[in-house]
Amino acid sequence: MVDELIHWHEGHAAALEARGIETRLRVDPSERSKRAARVDFRRGARIGTVLVWTNGDCELDALNQAGDDIVSEYRTVVTSADLDDAVAWVVARL
């Protein structure tokens, strides 16, 4: 799912930026045994993260810095639709 998140970011970053949401992609080096990728999102004081490992483990976080409200969720993503749902969960909280 790491490569899927990378491709998702490549295909959606510009549209999110047009909506006022900044994104940043980070990818672990390929020599690690459990590779991961994450996309950080920011809209004003709201921050979100989608972190995915090669085995499909996925951690979602959303933070409102103004109120220190943090919401987290753990999922397993195995399909592109699962990944889209995970990202949508984070973006909806920005």
Cα first-last separation, the chain = 23
Identify the burial level of 92 via C-beta atoms within 10 angstroms of its C-beta, where 0-12 means exposed, 13-18 middle and 19 or more buried: exposed
Question: Residue 90's pLDDT band (boundaries 50, 70, 90)?
Answer: very high
| Mean pLDDT, residues 6-31 taken together | 93
Q: How many domains does the chain have?
A: 1
HEC secondary structure over 56-74: CEEEEEEEECCCCEEEEEE
Which range of residues forms the domain containing residue 84?
2-91
pLDDT tens by residue, 47-78: 999 999 999 999 999 998 777 788 999 999 99
Residue 28 has pLDDT above 90, yes or no: no
Global pTM reads 0.91
